[in-house]
């Protein structure tokens, strides 16, 4: 999932200053699962803002809605009319969702309520960890299912570096050395050979951005438009 | 000869090599380099200049190399992948070779979080092993990393680092083998205080026959104080300082501690010299360049050979 973190309250408060009607829009997918921008978090933020506004003598109307996804037009469409009744939208989606909202609501101001962090997994309750950097050319098959690009701070493809100590990374005593994990698992698999060779420089052109993906088969399968009679 | 390097000549002719290290200043003052160069001249066969060690901004390694070279030293430029992508690395490689710097130490680099600009973007387009291979292909195949050919190749003697004290210990020698296969001509190790562990690492190195394919220079350094020893023991990742070293420093009167630090360094040099497959030492007296002459002389490594 895409893991996000709610922006600090003061930063949000500052960014919505001056709007008299504010709509907070949650996103029901990734950021809901990581407890940053789902229905509950929208409710919490709305109450916080209402309370602060009351204390500081501001009259602001705050609306709340949570969509299933903000990265897909069909989920945004039903609220476009309603959203236009507000002065601004505070989107609690990841950066992709915020942008699609801003496109569809143009020229309205759409403000981000989260900082988008990474593609990751739920490590344990309340803890998420990065696993993928969307490099565009997956190498997990060579590294026993442990990504050195995402999980080594220097993205070393020929590791481990000299800072691997007791299975931990020199950059953070709480961080596993990805290469210690790779070594251990390949060892268990009897496949250490796969790191006893030189991994060539990675082709980073697969990471060019803005990236775009087209599914030709899907486009071809779409029914052709009926010709105008 | 693969390169135009004096260090290569010294090693190839079978002499026990001595390399030194010079930390460039975090300012423009060229006198800092000239002063340090004086302490190194005549005592070592080549001098490394660090490339933003611990990710702190300092004068560029190639520039400091050029200043020290003008003082009559043979230089080794250190080059890290932290701040440059493969385009910038290759441009710098062409540049240093054209300037008459004949040795290069290929490193991934200390992570930017350790330095004075932790907010900087790390590059890491290549890692050290890929950098070694790239320099080798430039030199021996006259090819850029993309495969394009060049007319005049950089005749560099290629170095790499190895840390016998990092984990997983069993894999360290395999990684060294990867560095050798990539094209490393010489290796400079992490500073050795735990000679027993280094000797065990060398056993594994010889078992794989790597000492016959690459020149291994054992990293050594003098310790100036008990505090410095403790710092290295606890705060520097991948460095092992045994308690016996600290006890030795503590066992002498305060005013004798730095002298004892030099003695320990000389003792370690004598011990590593006895280990089969060790081709020389890399003496890292960063911030204590004045001690270099005494250490090298006491270790019986003077005068340095003149090989033509």
The answer to whether B205 faces chain A, any CB pair under 8 Å, is: no
Q: In the prediction, which pLDDT does A28 show?
A: 97
User: Residues B191, B219: contact at Cβ < 8 Å?
Assistant: yes
Could you report the predicted ipTM of this complex, rounded to two decimals?
0.94
Side-by-side strand order, sheet with A168-169: A164-165, A168-169, A172-176
Tell me what the mean pLDDT of segment A134-149 comes to.
96
Task: Give the gap in angstroms from C-alpha A168 to the nearest C-alpha of chain B.
Answer: 9
Give the pLDDT of residue A223. Answer: 67
Helix (H) or strand (E) holding B29: none
CA distance A80 to A78: 6
Taking any CB pair shorter than 8 Å as contact, residues of chain A touching chain B are 153-167, 170-171, 177, 180, 183-184, 192, 195-201, 204
**Chain center to CA of B188:** 5
Residue of B242, B245, B194 lying closest to B223 (CA atoms): B245
- What pLDDT sits at residue B308? 79
Q: At what angle do helices B128-140 and B169-182 cross, to 10 degrees?
A: 20
In this prediction, residue B238 carries a pLDDT of 81
Enter the CATH code of domain B6-222+278-298: 3.20.20.220
Rounded-to-5 percentages of helix, strand, coil across chain A: 35, 25, 40
The architecture in CATH of the region A2-117 reads 3-Layer(aba) Sandwich (3.40)
Cβ partners under 8 Å of residue B181, min gap 6: A197, A198
Candidates A143, A149, A161, A168, partner chain B, best to mutate (most B CBs within 10 A): A161
Task: Assign residue B226 a region (left: φ > 0; alpha: ψ between -120 and 50; beta: otherwise).
Answer: alpha
Q: Which residues contact B139 (CB under 8 A, 6 or more apart)?
A: B2, B3, B153, B154, B155, B156, B158
What does pLDDT average to over chain A?
A: 95
Instruction: Encode pLDDT of A150-192 as tens digits.
Output: 999 999 999 999 999 999 999 999 999 999 999 999 999 999 9
- What are the extents of the domains in chain B? 6-222+278-298
- Residues in Cβ contact with A124 at an 8 Å cutoff, skipping those fewer than 6 apart: none
What is this structure's pTM?
0.95
Mutate to test the interface with A, among B81, B129, B133 (most CBs of A within 10 A): B129
Radius of gyration for the alpha carbons in chain B, expressed in angstroms and rounded: 18
pLDDT digits (tens, 9 = 90+) for A67-107: 999 999 999 999 999 999 999 999 999 999 999 999 999 99
Comma-separated ranges of CATH 3.40.50.2300 domains in chain A: 2-117
Ranges under pLDDT 70 in chain B: none
What are the distances in angstroms from CA A53 to CA A18, A42, A91, B102, B257?
11, 16, 19, 68, 65
Q: How far is CA B50 from CA A197, B26, B55, B110, in A?
A: 28, 12, 10, 11
Chain A positions touching B124 (Cβ under 8 A) are 154-156
B139 vs A218: CA distance, rounded Å: 49
8 Å CB contact between A128 and A3: yes
DSSP A24-73: EEEESSHHHHTTSSSHHHHHHHHHHHHHHHHHTT---EEEEEEES-SSSH
pLDDT digits (tens, 9 = 90+) for B65-103: 999 999 999 999 999 999 999 999 999 999 999 999 999
Q: Which of A155, A162, A204 sits opposite B163 (nearest CB)?
A: A162
Per-residue pLDDT tens digits for A184-224: 999 999 999 999 999 999 999 998 899 999 999 999 887 66
Measured between alpha carbons, how far is B189 from A164 in angstroms, rounded to an integer? 15
Q: How far apart are CA A59 and CA A18, in angstroms?
A: 10
């Amino acid at each position: 999932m895409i893991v996000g973190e709610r922006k600090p309250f003061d930063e949000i408060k500052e960014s919505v200053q001056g709007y008299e009607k504010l709509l907070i829009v949650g996103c029901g997918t990734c950021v809901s699962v990581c407890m940053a921008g789902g229905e509950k978090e929208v409710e919490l933020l709305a109450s916080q803002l209402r309370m602060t506004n009351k204390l500081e003598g501001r009259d602001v109307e705050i609306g709340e809605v949570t969509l299933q996804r903000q990265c897909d037009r069909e989920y945004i469409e039903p609220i476009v009319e309603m959203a236009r009744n507000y002065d601004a939208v505070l989107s609690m989606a990841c950066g992709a969702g915020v942008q699609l909202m801003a496109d569809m609501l143009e020229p309205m101001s759409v403000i981000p309520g989260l900082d988008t962090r990474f593609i990751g997994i739920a490590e344990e309750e309340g803890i998420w960890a990065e696993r993928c950097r969307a490099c565009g050319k997956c190498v997990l098959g060579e590294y026993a299912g442990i990504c050195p690009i995402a999980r080594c701070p220097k993205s070393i493809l020929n590791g481990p570096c000299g800072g691997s100590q007791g299975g931990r990374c020199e950059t953070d005593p709480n961080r596993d050395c990805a290469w210690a994990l790779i070594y251990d698992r390949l060892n268990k698999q009897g496949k250490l050979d796969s790191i006893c060779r030189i991994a060539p420089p990675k082709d980073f052109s697969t990471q060019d951005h803005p990236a775009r993906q087209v599914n030709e088969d899907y486009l071809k399968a779409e029914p052709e438009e009926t010709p105008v009679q | 000869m693969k390169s135009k390097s004096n260090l290569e000549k010294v090693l190839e002719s079978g002499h026990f090599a001595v390399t030194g290290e010079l930390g460039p200043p975090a300012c423009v003052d060229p006198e800092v380099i000239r002063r340090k160069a004086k302490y190194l001249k005549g005592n070592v066969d080549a001098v490394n200049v660090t490339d933003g060690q611990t990710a702190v901004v300092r004068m560029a390694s190639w520039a400091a190399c050029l200043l020290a070279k003008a003082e009559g030293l043979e230089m080794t430029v250190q080059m890290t992948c932290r701040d440059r992508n493969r385009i910038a690395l290759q441009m710098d490689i062409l540049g240093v070779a054209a300037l008459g710097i004949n040795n290069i130490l290929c490193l991934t680099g200390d992570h930017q979080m350790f330095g004075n600009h932790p907010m900087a973007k790390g590059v890491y387009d290549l890692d050290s092993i890929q950098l070694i291979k790239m320099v080798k292909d430039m030199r021996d195949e006259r090819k850029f990393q993309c495969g394009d050919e060049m007319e005049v190749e950089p005749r560099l003697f290629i170095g790499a680092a190895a840390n016998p004290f990092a984990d997983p210990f069993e894999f360290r020698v395999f990684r060294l083998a990867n560095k050798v296969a990539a094209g490393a001509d010489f290796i400079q190790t992490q500073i050795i205080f735990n000679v027993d562990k280094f000797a065990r690492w060398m056993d594994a190195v010889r078992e794989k026959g790597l000492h016959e394919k690459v020149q291994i220079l054992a990293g050594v350094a003098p310790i100036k104080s008990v505090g410095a020893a403790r710092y290295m023991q606890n705060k520097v990742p991948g460095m092992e300082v045994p308690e016996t070293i600290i006890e030795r420093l503590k066992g002498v009167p305060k005013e004798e501690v730095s002298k004892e630090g030099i003695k320990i360094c000389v003792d370690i040099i004598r011990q590593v010299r006895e280990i089969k497959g060790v081709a020389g030492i890399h003496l890292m007296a960063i911030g204590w360049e004045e001690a270099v002459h005494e250490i090298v002389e006491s270790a019986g490594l003077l005068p340095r050979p003149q090989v033509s």
